[in-house]
Chain A
Amino acid sequence: MADTKEIAIGDIQARGEEIKSDRMSLNVGPSHPTTHGVLRLKMELDGDTITYVDPVIGYLHRGDEKIAENMTYNQFVPYTDRLDYLAPLANNVAYAIAVEKLADLEVPERCQAIRVICCELARISSHLLGLGVFGMDTGAWTPFMYCFTEREKLYDLFEELTGARFTTSYTRIGGVTRDVPEGWLDRVEAFLDEFMRTVDELDKLLTRNRIFYDRTVDIGIITKEDAIAYGITGPNLRGSGVDWDLRRDKPYCGYEQYDFDIPLGSKGDCYDRFLVRLEEVRQSASIVKQAIKKFPPGLWYAEDAKKIYAPSKDKILTSMEELIQNFMLVTQGPQIPAGEVYFEAENPKGALGFYVVSNGGGVPYRLKIRAPSFCNLSILPKLLPGLMLTDVTSVLGSLDFVMGECDR
């Protein structure tokens, strides 16, 4: 086939005619399987080559920041579930830590360990989806099914811990809603052992897969300089070889006690971003195991924070003081001193930041959510032009974004 084509083109050239490619404008999304949500791309093509891209976002804009200004700190926790809805537990934790920093509140070690386990399980769950869907985008169906089977088990664990599979709302300012259930940690450990085998299989299915290789290697290269200039964070930044991980460089939640490696890409192409995620899943599993091993005793909330964390139910029902305390917390919200704080946590998608401005009282004056997916997508107008149309799926799959977080 290739030969006949070449001869045909040669004929045209021999006749002195110019080869012309069609220019067209193409709209992808907002509802399209490759855009993983409601991203819309307005593209201009020259033949199969992309010449111009204008991403249109905002289809999932719900005004979370406006909503936050109208409710108490704890009332906003369920809204954080709906930012990066593939890792709600990690969002809960990031939000709680931001407000606690403003209140200058230290949570006990046990609470920190629970939060670390939550964050890392959320990372595993989110990356599994990212890897599985990336495989599917490039034509491999099986890894997607493997990943979803594992995520289903994770959801069962989340349900046991928080009462909800998806919208967990697990943290409160000053702690978490409840302690880990009996035997839960053992079940997490059993899951991790089982799950490592699936990761190995996933590795074998994709990493040296010829089709996957051809569709990702040298495609969508983000240089180190570009990654930093565009504010890209998370696995996408590390895929470009920038050694930056908030868990190690600005430890929170006691991450400094755990021993883990930070995988880095060398080139910054789609394949590197895939490899980084694959290794991060393994590292997360190792962190969870370490956390379970030295799981500290004690309370899962800050006991002395009487104006911030609600007392336990049996005390509310039997003691006057706790009853009043609970009433004030429910009606007026946790009392946070005036000031402003910016805190960002290393979430599966990148650095999720909360900028909280408080005038005192139970309601934030302003709350800004710095969404990693928003920043990661902002490089598309630079990244896509010059690539082929088929590469769009690879690039979008490798960036692993969530529109719920991007649009807020």
Chain B
Amino acid sequence: MNLLQTLDYLTERDSVGHEAYNCPTDKLLEAMTYLKNELGFSMLVDVTAIDNGENADSRFTSIYHLLNIANGELVRIACDCEGNEEPEVPSVTHLWPAADWHERETYDMFGIKFVGHPDLRRILMWDEYEYYPLRKEFPLAGHEVEYPEPDIVERTDLKVKAAPMAGGPFVASTSGPMSKSEPVAKDQSWREYNDKPE
């Protein structure tokens, strides 16, 4: 299989063990339809995304893993999302029903809007939740938010609290002087002298 010849807008992407390509957003549906109908990638294994960091050129990249069950070929398609604050990417639910839940999860975790998804709502977090947990600026401990059931809140004043991170996972930084590379929790938001996460 050489996709670069037939679909000239694809560029090769770094990967271990199988082929991977970058695809521009406006050509994603065309490429996916071709992969499914012409090349026999009948199974959509996984949809996810990467947050390239708040200052990255295009902040979010959506990732698709496709499998051809007939010959065992696996391919990864990566597609940079349009817009950094409200990222958008076309939905592939009409090609693979499997994309339904995967795209909902990616929307839930990153806030990427899959245009054309029939029922794009949160799947793991509750509907009223206002953050996107897998974005890099979201703290590991989480944010304190309202409990989603108003009648329970009325009676008990219950809140969803940030996790108590004291002790957190300890990881040393690999750069900088030795004095700074002592193992500390990567997320410092739990520290007494820092402001508590809101």
A contact set with B: CB distance below 8 Å: 57-58, 61, 63, 65-67, 70-72, 75, 101-102, 104, 228-231, 242, 244, 249-250, 330-333, 339-344, 351, 353, 355, 357, 361-363, 365-366, 368, 370, 374-375, 377-378, 382, 407-408
Contacts and interface: CB of A to CB of B under 8 A. Distances in A.
B101 A374 contact: yes
Given A104-B16, A353-B46, 11 more contacts: A58-B124, A70-B187, A229-B42, A331-B183, A340-B76, A342-B74, A344-B45, A370-B45, A374-B105, A377-B101, A378-B100
B65 A66 contact: no
Given A230-B98, A355-B65, A378-B98, A363 B171 contact: yes
Given A66-B133, A71-B169, A353 B45 contact: yes
A332 B174 contact: yes
Given A66-B134, A333-B171, A355-B63, A366 B98 contact: no
B65 A342 contact: yes
How many chain B residues sit at the interface, stated as a range, is 35 or more
A370 B48 CA distance: 9
A58 B126 contact: yes
Given A341-B15, A342-B74, A375-B101, A353 B171 contact: no
Interface in B166-181: 168-172, 174, 181
Q: Main secondary structure on chain B at its contact with chain A?
A: loop
B18 interface: yes
Contact of A339 (B16, B51, B187): B16
Q: Which 6 A-B residue pairs are closest in the complex by CB-CB distance?
A: A231-B98, A58-B124, A71-B169, A331-B172, A378-B101, A341-B16
A189 B12 CA distance: 48
Nearest to A366: B50
A72 B125 contact: no
Nearest to B174: A361
Given A61-B125, A375-B101, A366 B51 contact: yes
B14 A339 contact: yes
A63 B143 CA distance: 13
B44 interface: yes
Contacts of B186: 70-71, 363
A61 B126 CA distance: 11
Interface in B1-50: 14-18, 20, 42-46, 48, 50
Contact of B124 (A67, A365, A407): A407
A140 B122 CA distance: 38
A250 B169 contact: no
Contacts of B18: 342
20 contacts: A58-B123, A63-B142, A71-B186, A102-B16, A228-B42, A228-B69, A331-B171, A339-B16, A340-B14, A340-B20, A341-B15, A342-B74, A342-B76, A353-B45, A355-B46, A374-B101, A378-B97, A378-B100, A382-B97, A407-B124
A336 to B, nearest CB: 11
Contacts of B171: 70-72, 75, 331-333, 362-363
A226 B181 CA distance: 52
A242 B69 contact: yes
A176 to B, nearest CB: 22
B46 A370 contact: yes
B98 A368 contact: no
A340 B69 contact: no
Nearest to A338: B14
A66 B101 contact: no
B100 to A, nearest CB: 6
Contact of A353 (B65, B100, B101): B65
A230 B46 CA distance: 11
A66 B140 contact: yes
B17 to A, nearest CB: 6
Contacts of A249: 72
Nearest to B163: A63
Contacts of A244: 69
A100 B109 CA distance: 27
Interface string B112-137: 00000000001111100000011000
Nearest to A332: B172
Nearest to A244: B69
B70 to A, nearest CB: 10
- Looking at B63, B142, B172, which has the most chain A CB atoms within 10 Å of its CB? B172
Nearest to A232: B98
A343 B14 CA distance: 15
B124 A57 contact: yes
Contacts of B44: 231
A231 B133 contact: no
Interface string B91-104: 00000111011100
Contacts of B20: 340
A104 B105 CA distance: 30
A277 to B, nearest CB: 21
Nearest to A335: B174
Contacts of A330: 183
Contacts of B134: 65-66
Contacts of B14: 339-340
A318 to B, nearest CB: 24
Contacts of A408: 124
